[in-house]
Amino acid sequence: MTHGTDVVVVGAGVSGLTCAVRLAEAGLRVLVRSADSPLTTTSCAAGAIWGPHLVAHDRAESWALASLGVFRELAADPVATGVRMTWGVEAGQDVPRPGPGAEGVRLCAAVELPPGYTSGWEYRVPLIDMTRYLDYLTYRLLNKNGEIQISRVDDLPALGPLVVNCTGLGARELVPGDPIRPVRGDLLVLDNPGIDTFFVEHDEDDGDGLTTYVLPQGDRVMLGGSRFAGEWSDEDPQIRQDILDRCARAEPLLAGSRVREHRVGLRPVRDRVRIGPDDRYPHVIHNYGHGGGGVTLSWGCADEVLALTGAGAHTTRRG
Ligand SMILES: Cc1cc2nc3c(=O)[nH]c(=O)nc-3n(C[C@H](O)[C@H](O)[C@H](O)COP(=O)(O)OP(=O)(O)OC[C@H]3O[C@@H](n4cnc5c(N)ncnc54)[C@H](O)[C@@H]3O)c2cc1C
C-alpha cells in the first residue's frame, strides 16, 4: 500500500473506476491498481446501452435503476461525459413491454418496424460512449486526488487494510476456484451515415449466437453483436460479415458505411454477480461478474461497495 492511501481498488474498467470515484468523493484516499489502462479494458469494448443483459442477481434491477439516475444527470453534458439519452426501438416477435427505467414507452405499429420483425417498442434510455466516459471517470477520480497505477496484482489481501476487487474476468486468477467465465462479444465501429436513434433486437436467449443492434455515437455507429462462450478472442471475418448483413437489413442506411474497427471483448459472466466481503479476508470487498451489464449496474454496485466499506471507518478522512 502506498503511504497515505486508504483503499486500493483493483481494476480500471467501469466497475473499478466508478467505485474509485464514489470512494474518493466520500473522502477516502484511493489508489487504483490495474493491469490494463482504462481504454484497453473490456469495458471500453462495450456499446454501451443501459439495460441489464446476461447478468444475474436478484438486486440487478435496483442497481440498474440507481445507475440510471446518475446517467440521466450525466446526460446533461454529453460532450464531457459521453452519456446521451437516446430514443430507439426494440423489436422482435411478441416483445414484452420494457421494464422500469425506459422513458416514453410506446408500442410501435408494424409498418414502423424493419422487415422480419412483428412487434416492437419505442423508448428512451442512456447510450454511453465508453471511450469518452472512461476518460470522464478518470478525470473525475484524479480531480479528487485519486491515483491510477498500471501494474498487475497477484495477491489481493496483501494490498492493504481495505481492498476492492473489480477485476472482471481477472478474478479467475485472483480468486482461485471462482466460477466466472468468458462470453465473447463482437462490436463493429462504422462511420455514422446519419443515424440518431438506436435499434436493438429483443433477445431473451442466453445461448451462443448472433443478435442485432445499432447504437449511434455521434460520428460513429456501433454494430453488434455476438455471444459465444469461451476464450477465443481473435477477430473473425465471418462474424463481422454476418453482423454487417444483419444490421444493414435492420437499418438500410448502413449499407456501404466504412468499418473503422472490429472490437472483441470477453464478458465476465457468473451465475450471480459477486459483491460483498471475502469469506476469508473480510477487508477485501469483491465487485465482479457483471456479465453483459457492467455499465448498467456500475453506479448501483459502487453505492453498495461504498456502504460495505463503512466509508471512513477504516480511514483517515481528508479534511
Ligand atoms: C461487445 C460487448 C458489448 C457490451 N455491451 C454492454 C452494454 O451495452 N451495456 C452494459 O451495461 N454492458 C455491456 N457489456 C458488458 C460490460 O462491458 C462488462 O460487464 C463490464 O465492462 C465489466 O466491467 P469491469 O470493470 O467489471 O471489468 P473490466 O472492464 O474487464 O475491467 C477489469 C479490470 O481489472 C483489471 N485486472 C484484471 N486482473 C488484474 C490483476 N491481476 N491485477 C491488476 N488488474 C487486473 C483489468 O486490467 C481491468 O482494468 C458489453 C460487453 C461486451 C464485450
What's the pLDDT tens digit per position in 56-67? 788 999 999 999
Among 81-90, 105-114, 255-264, 308-317, the minimum mean pLDDT is found in: 308-317
Q: 81 CB less than 6 Å from ligand 1? A: no
pLDDT of residue 114: 94
**What's the domain range around 187?**
86-124+181-268
Structurally, the chain folds into a number of domains equal to 2
Distance 107 CA to ligand 1 centre (A): 33
User: Does pLDDT of 127 surpass 80?
Assistant: yes
Does one domain contain both 186 and 257?
Answer: yes
146 CB near ligand 1 (under 6 Å): no
Question: Is the distance from the beta carbon of residue 47 to the nearest atom of ligand 1 less than 6 Å?
Answer: yes
Residue 234: per-residue pLDDT: 78
CATH number at residue 254: 3.30.9.10
Domain stop point among 268, 289, 310 = 268
pLDDT digit string, tens, across residues 134-158: 999 999 999 999 999 999 999 999 9
pTM score, whole prediction: 0.95
Q: Ligand 1 test: best mutation among 198, 267, 296, most atoms within 8 Å of CB?
A: 267
- Report residue 231's pLDDT band, with 50, 70 and 90 as the boundaries: confident
- Tell whether 6 and 139 lie within a shared domain: yes
The pLDDT of 234-260, averaged and rounded, is: 93
Please give the grid coordinates belonging to residue 271: 451465475
Span 217-226, pLDDT tens digits: 999 999 998 9
* Model pLDDT, residue 314: 44
Pair 199, 222 in one domain: yes
